[in-house]
Amino acid sequence: MSTFTRITPPRVKVGLVAGGLGAYWPQFPDLLPQLQRSAARVSERMREFDAEIVDVGFISDAQEGAQAAEKLREAGCDLIVGFLTTYMTATMLAPIAQRSGAPMLLINLQPTESMDHATFDTGQWLAYCGACPLPEMANAFTRLGIAFRSVSGYLEDERAWTKIGRWVRAAGVRAALRRGRHGLLGHLYPGMMDVATDLTLVSANFGGHVEVLEFDDLRVRVEKVTGDEAAERVKLARDVFELADSVDEDDLEWAARVSVGLDRLVEDFELDSLAYYHRGLDGEIHERLGAGMILGASLLTARGIPAAGEYELRTSLAMLIMDRLGAGGSFTEFQALDFHRGHVEMGHDGPAHLAISARRPLLRGLGVYHGKRGWGVSVEFDVKHGPVTVFGLRQARDGRYGFVVSEGEVVDGPHLQIGNTTSRVDFGCDPGEWTDAWSATGISHHWALGTGHRAADLQATADLLGADLTLVQP
């Protein structure tokens, strides 16, 4: 890519079906038109989300339910929303849930906050009876082995629509993981047992594909970068970053070449995320490539293609999840504890999500990368002050992935000027107690730091993925 342009991920596809018991229609002629108006309003509100809505209309019996099931199965939805407008039997929705393979969300949204009890007759009451079939659906789905979730409220209930939107976003994240192509470039940082990942477990837990790459795949693409392309990327770096006096022009030009090569690598292998590391030796080409990654990896991350250093595949996945939730997500680890101010200092000398920087990000030239070979430019900034969430993926002994989450606040304070993305996070407790509680979960030593309090969104995402979530709030 020659410009700093954020990617546009595929839109989440949401199936929508509304229904009610057809036996009521001849008994109460005004009921079906009212329920259909409610269904139209739900369809209208659903289209306000950033989603492709597949609306198969209104069903009144099991036969129509089976027809809707086939339409939704063929559509390949990421989430199916069943609108319970009034009482309906479980046989009307069971085939939809069984055949689609998509997560089910049942919504019960009555017309208004409350009935007019003094004037309502049976037909008018039935329009408020969407709660009636919900336990029946829950019982039937449980016995059929079908996971489900529900939201109850009324048509213009913003609390309910906030919850529905959360499930739509979570379905989008699940879809991104199931269809994702995740690059793994280079080799494991020697000795990091926590980082080591069985690649099959990624597909087992989330779906998707891990593409194993060699640094030579990057080398041949960097070698083909022209002088004009490198100059254009240097110009982009000067536009996006503030440059410290320590930046060496040759190092910047090299980082720009690596950045262009990285973009081509991502395009050629159609990658949605990337984790990388290479040690190298004595300034040879692979060492220089590994040391020149931070600029390009940060630009990729800002464009929506998260890149994590130190071969940390699970953290590049966590960064992808946070990015798709709109939280950014920067590569992060512990740096120090400030017991005087009550802060946990965290960050990393690697890729950063530029969209969550508190100011124009800085490029700093480094003569040495601590613990790594090579030298070059690194990104430095503080995350925007305010609510933040730290989120990582834990791998349990049985191979299952779990979400580890904690909410805090980025606050002001002194920062080291060493080319790291350092932030001070106040978790509302003693930093030592928080550190012990966080570490006790079995999380690895890297995670993603994103803006906003995202525990509820992450809980919904974990639910759709069948993963456990541990919330750390000592």
Domains of the chain: 12-177 (3.40.50.10940), 217-268+277-471 (3.20.14)
What is the residue-wise DSSP string for 433-454?
HHHHHHHHTT--S-EEEEES--
- 474 residues of the chain, pLDDT tens digit each: 345 689 999 999 999 999 999 999 999 999 999 999 999 999 999 999 999 999 999 999 999 999 999 999 999 999 999 999 999 999 999 999 999 989 999 999 999 999 999 999 999 999 999 999 999 999 999 999 999 999 999 999 999 999 999 999 999 999 999 999 999 999 999 999 999 989 999 999 999 999 999 999 999 999 999 999 999 999 999 999 999 999 999 999 999 999 999 999 999 999 999 999 998 888 899 999 998 999 999 999 999 999 999 999 999 999 999 999 999 999 999 999 999 999 999 988 777 889 899 889 989 987 777 666 667 888 888 899 999 999 999 999 999 999 999 999 999 999 888 777 889 999 999 999 999 999 999 999 999 999 999 999 999 999 999 999 999 998
How is residue 344 written in tokens? 């946990």
Q: Is 413 exposed, middle or buried (0-12, 13-18, 19+ CB in 10 A)?
A: middle
pLDDT at 369: 72
pTM for this predicted structure: 0.95
pLDDT at 214: 96
CA–CA gap between residue 329 and residue 451 (Å, rounded): 8
pLDDT at 2: 40
Q: Is 200 exposed, middle or buried (0-12, 13-18, 19+ CB in 10 A)?
A: exposed
How far from 228 is each of 255, 265, 295, CA to CA, in Å?
14, 19, 18
Collapsing DSSP states into helix, strand and coil, what is residue 319? helix
